[in-house]
Each structure stands twice: as C-alpha cells, then as structure tokens.
Structure 1
Amino acid sequence: MISFRVDGRSGVPPYLQLVQQVRQALRMGLLEVGDQLPTVREVVAEVAVNPNTVLKAYRDLERAGLVEARAGQGTFVLRRPAGPPPTTHSRLGRSLARWVYEAREAGLDDESMESLLRVTLQASDPAVSDRHGETA
C-alpha cells in the first residue's frame, strides 16, 4: 500500500503531489494493476489534507485512465503510465542512488545536484540543443 506525504513548502499543490506519488509508485512497481488506493479518509488522516484535495487527486488519476472508482468499494489501479517497466526504473534508480552518494562524497549539496541534473537534462534535449544551434 502506498504511503502519502505532502510538503507544504514545495510550491506544488497538495492534490498534484498525491497524483505524482501515485504515478511514481506505478512506475516503480510499488503499486500494481488491481491494487486498491487508500480511502479518502485514510489519506486525510495520514497527511492532514482536506478530503476534497484527495478527491481531486483521485479524479485526476481517473481522468488519466490510471485508476477507477468503484462505488462502495474504493479506488483501484487500472493500468500503469506509459513508459518502461518497473524493473527499468528500479535499475536506473539504483544507478542514480550510487551517483547521488558519489556527489555527496564530492561535497555537492542537494541544490548543486539539482542544478547539475537540470543542466544535463537540457543539454541532452534535442529541442533545446537545436534552438542553440547545436546538433544532437
């Protein structure tokens, strides 16, 4: 079962944080097709958000075709988001964890690592490279 958390300082609306956490859990294989999401009441008790926030998140996931609400039963996972299987995410996650460890050992803080990741992502994006006259 997924365990939610909401960071009030992140600048990301709480409902969107819940949506992102469900999507991430699906990509990582922590949630499988057929699994039941926590009830609205359980999420409210766990992270102290308004019930409408949870309902909005679950409706968003339902509109995306990832979950289905069943009257009187709860909300269930229908499918994973498009993309590589959870095993690929897990493998790459382990590799990234090793990189983060090395970066911390080298003295980089979180902000420095985030900046490095952003720059690297932008440099590897063909659309960004093309705008700057570079070739991919």
Structure 2
Amino acid sequence: MEEGVIEFYLDSGSGLSPYQQIVQQVRHALRLGLLREGDQMPKVKDVAAQLAINPNTVLKAYRELENTGLVSARPGVGTFVSATLPGVTPAVLGPLRRDLRRWIAKARLAGLDDEGITALIADTFRETTTEDIA
C-alpha cells in the first residue's frame, strides 16, 4: 500500500496538544475513507521533521492509535492501519463537501472569520437533531 496517504498539520489555536491533533487527524481520515486498512502511516521521523516536533510526540500518538486497535506497528517495516471507523462512502461525502464549501464561502463573505465559522458550526451542531432534516 501507499505510504504517506495522510499529511499532518498542527493548529496552535485548536486547544489540543500536538499528539492529540495527530490522533484526531488519523481518526478523521479513517472516518472519511482517506485512510484504509493496510495503508502505511508516514514514518515517525518524517512526521516529526515535517511538523518540527519531537519524535516522541509522534510515537505517543501512534501508540495511542495502536492501543485503540486502529494501527499496528511492524518492527523494522513501519506502522500500518489495521482498522477503520464507521463513515460514509465517497459518493455521499462529495456532494456534502461541495455544499459545505459553498456555505463556508458564504459565511466568509458575510464577515465571519475561521473562529466565528467554527463557533457557529459547533453551536448549530449541538442544537441540530435528525428531526431538523426536511
């Protein structure tokens, strides 16, 4: 399988530690189908160099993912995705992603910055139920 199918990034404003951000990004990639069972994770040293963080931070994230059964380390070979998370198919995600991009563009045109958009989404998410679907 292809190595490096995920590219990590750090958001200093997220409120999460770097290792937690790595774990979260892997979980999101699994849920969205961007990572699949058998995919090789980027090498620890490559992630550490890319993000300019200590390799032990990446190891901690990979260990947590391994403890939850999502990845498995193969000594001398690398770390591989060993399980997926429930998600939906790319055919379902595509239209939703397009709609969301349009909505985000409208929100920015209305004057919301990234933090405002995130706050509005989080607030609306908490208030929305499946009964709201019309």
Q: TM-score range by the shorter chain?
A: 0.7 to 0.9
Q: Give the structure-2-normalised TM-score.
A: 0.82
Q: Establish whether residue 121 from structure 1 lines up as the match of residue 125 from structure 2.
A: yes
CA contact (8 A) 2:32 2:87 kept: no
Letter of the 2:115 partner, please give it: E
SS at match of 1:75: strand
Farther-moved stretch of structure 1 (102-111 vs 81-90)? 81-90
The whole-number CA distance in structure 2 between the counterparts of 1:87 and 1:26 is 16
Instruction: Give the equivalent residue in structure 2 for 1:134.
Output: none
Say if 1:96 and 1:12 are closer, same or farther in 2 by CA, change over 3 A.
same
Residue identity over aligned pairs, in percent, reads 52
Q: Give the structure-1-normalised TM-score.
A: 0.80
CA contact (8 A) 2:66 2:72 kept: yes
CA contact (8 A) 1:28 1:90 kept: no
Instruction: Give the equivalent residue in structure 1 for 2:95.
Output: 91
Instruction: Give the equivalent residue in structure 1 for 2:33.
Output: 29
User: Which blocks of at least 5 consecutive residues in structure 1 are unaligned?
Assistant: 127-136
User: Which blocks of at least 5 consecutive residues in structure 2 are unaligned?
Assistant: none
CA deviation string 1:64-99 (max 9, x = no partner)? 211111111100011211233444334322221111
Q: How many residues align?
A: 126
What RMSD over aligned residues (CA atoms) do the two structures have, in Å?
A: 1.9
The whole-number CA distance in structure 1 between the counterparts of 2:48 and 2:94 is 29
The whole-number CA distance in structure 2 between the counterparts of 1:79 and 1:87 is 21
Q: What's the CA shift for 1:113?
A: 1.8
Larger Rg: 1
